Amino acid sequence: MTTMYIGKPTSRVDGRAKVTGTARYAAEHRVSGLAFGWIVSSTVARGRIVRIQTDAASALPGVLRVFTHENAPRLARFDRSYRDEIAPPGAPFRPLQDAEIRFSHQPVALVVAESLELARYAASLIRVEYESSPVATDLEAQRPSARAPKPRPGLSGVPDPRGDPDAAWESAAVRVDAVYRAPPQHHNPMESFATTVFRRGDGRLTVYDKTQGVQNVQSYLCRVFGCSNSTLRVVSPFVGGAFGSGLRPQATAYLAVLAARELERSVRVSMTRQQMFSFGHRPATWQRVALGATEDGCLISILHEAVAETSRFEDYSEAVVFWSGLLYACDNVQLDHKVVQLDVATPGDMRAPGAAWGLFALESAMDELATKLDMDPLELRLRNYSERDSIEDLPFSSKALRECYRQGADRFGWSRRNLQPRATRAGDVFIGQGMATGIWEASQHPAAARAELSDDGELLVSSATADIGTGTYTIMTQIAAERMGLPLDKVTFLLGDSSFPRSPVEGGSWTAATIGSAVLAACDKLRKKLLRLARKLPASPLKHATPDEVVFADGWIRSAKDPARGASLIEILRQSQFHRLEAEAGAKPSSKQKQYSRYAHSAVFAEVQVDAELGTTVVTRVVSAVAAGRILNPKTARSQVLGGVVWGIGSALEEESVLDHGLGRFMNHSFAEYHVPVHADVREIEVIFVDEVDNFVNPLGAKGLGEIGIVGVAAAVANAIYNATGRRVRELPITPDKLL
């Protein structure tokens, strides 16, 4: 038997539950006496509700109540009660609390009935009259009103300029000055947002919610509704995709709890696919990148400015330009980020927020500079390789990006690439190859975990974190099994319950490091307790052993020097008359970690075929070489990066939320018109994990993979399209009309 699991390809421990349908998602929990809510959405983007007629809906037998701003209870008074863990500055939206319309598709009523079908039909009978106001949703038109965003908690501000970037750019021998545009995008996970509230006879609520942070939702709901953690519990064991959309509490949780409290019964509220376009989205972003270099390709100036959208009621911002001051060595750098208030819902975090658009612009500009220099784009990046974080003036905890470049280029066959555009053709298609660099922060946050060992040898480990499909269940099981020296099938990891030990929201590629470190700490505490018990056993073979002198393996504690001396964990508990032994511990970043700059890196190589007459593009090959510290599970890790690459292809070629600026409304709010990659769009993708030892980033040495898989992909595809066609497209998505 072996109990070494970290770093080994391991199938998902939750896989069987998911493929057999026994996994319960937010709208699938079975609750007796359940009522159903249907959200009525606004048809205007700005204005006020003048009149709302609900009599016809309310008169239907089986309709329990129609909630509107006119009859909904007045809840918490101050904005601070509505600010969740990651809320940007401003006044968070409060559903059904006033007559003002702030964005299209805003919830204006909730119909609650005995069946979902009845609630839906009743909602169709509601008539709302509005007093509309002029809308402003065009980022380009409103760009002159751009201003600096208010500081967002947990997000580094734009760093101060270094050197004299304007003068250096003016004196540069070779220059690039270009504008890049990226559209809004909407989350479209398989599982729509839903909340099922189970109301007990004593009034306590169990809230089954789709979320990336059960304790974040619990805290929000308790503040808004004035209740305690002991009377409101939030549970989310399975999430059908989220990647940022579930970081903040959604309207379904608010409305379901409101209805459950008022009606004194259990209630479920779900969003339709169309209503999934009614909340936070990746913001439309305008960027200007100006690069100045010497004739031999050394950067002497980087200027990167961005203008992105936010709502009128909150100041959402993300790190768009930050990466340009970090990724390449340059003495003269000027970065600037502004926001424009539009009549839209507050944008939200979407996989690699800021970096997805910021690196598209930067890495496209680097490709343009390589073209002007008549230089291999890879050689240009190597020539400007940064050995140190110039923003924080810190060494990197580790950085194997050079090896990413080397291994990725070798596997892709980059040396055979034709530097000249439109030079490679096969029949009716042009073939092109491009590359780009990716970078994402490797952070750790405070968290806690609990480990409980029973006298039958079963280990139960828990933390309130989430698993949005990334493999958290599995890697935490691996970590605990290895640390405690137990078989995988003897370890169960539980998550997604607000009563479990504390956890931040699941996002930012920090979950493996954050929760994994807490699991290590809890297991280490449990190991010490077990060793103390073992030393007290009669005639104990471990009587004088210290923690450094023992090994936990195969369900035993053994002497490291003499494996014949030891005791089984089961016997230790039974002889000590313990049915269960428990330990809870927390973990947080150490002071030593803060002495280093901690990032994951990638090199992305893409090949495209562009139809010469139709302008259609197919991404035929992608090689993504990733340096992300210790890879905890190569099997789930590969899936993470594959998903990121597919999303990057979608960003490059398909995904765009289209606004009608006269109506202020997203028009393609369905899968029929909001295009995402399907099987036919995804060809050969190869993932390479570059060995990288990092003794500083966190106790596990892992950097996280959620974001690093997507960053750089859109730029690599765009650069390949230029190599294929000779046409530089600076606006995403790159659709056929832009190539004809």
- Is-contact 345 665, C-beta < 8 A? no
Distances (CA, A) of 564 to 273, 289, 491, 542, 558: 61, 66, 25, 11, 7
Residue type, 110: L
Q: Which tokens belong to 381?
A: 């990046």
- Is-contact 377 366, C-beta < 8 A? yes
Among the listed residues 501, 508, 429, 499, the one whose alpha carbon sits nearest the alpha carbon of residue 468 = 508
- Is-contact 129 52, C-beta < 8 A? yes
- Is-contact 72 305, C-beta < 8 A? no
Q: What are the φ and ψ backbone dihedral angles of 617, each rounded to 5 degrees?
A: -120, 135
Q: Which residue has the tokens 């968070």?
A: 92
Whether 549 sits among the annotated catalytic residues: the reply is: no
Q: Which tokens belong to 691?
A: 């060995």
Q: Which tokens belong to 349?
A: 């975090």
Among the listed residues 143, 627, 89, 644, the one whose alpha carbon sits nearest the alpha carbon of residue 406 = 627
**Residue in 318, 363, 441, 707 annotated catalytic:** 707
Q: Which residues 6+ apart lie within 8 Å of 83 measured at CB?
A: 92
What span, in angstroms and rounded, lies between the C-alpha atoms of 284 and 664? 14
What's the gap between Cα 62 and its chain centre?
Answer: 40
What span, in angstroms and rounded, lies between the C-alpha atoms of 696 and 527? 24
Among the listed residues 270, 205, 277, the one whose alpha carbon sits nearest the alpha carbon of residue 37 = 270
Give the DSSP per-residue string, 315-353: -----SSGGGGTSB--S-EEEEEEEEEESSPPP---SST
Three-state SS string over 609-675 comes to EEECCCCCEEEEEEEEEEECECCCCHHHHHHHHHHHHHHHHHHHHCCCCCEECCCCEECCCCCCCCC
What span, in angstroms and rounded, lies between the C-alpha atoms of 668 and 651? 16
Long-range pairs of 610-614 with CB within 8 A, sequence gap ≥ 24: 610/429, 610/430, 610/432, 610/721, 610/724, 610/725, 610/739, 611/428, 611/429, 612/425, 612/428, 612/429, 612/430, 613/428, 614/736, 614/740
Helices (H), 172-280: 214-225, 251-263
What span, in angstroms and rounded, lies between the C-alpha atoms of 306 and 339? 8
Q: What is the CA radius of gyration of the chain?
A: 27
What span, in angstroms and rounded, lies between the C-alpha atoms of 214 and 198? 15
Residue type, 494: L
For 159, what's the count of Cα atoms within 13 Å in the CB-facing half-sphere? 20
- Residues catalogued as catalytic: 707
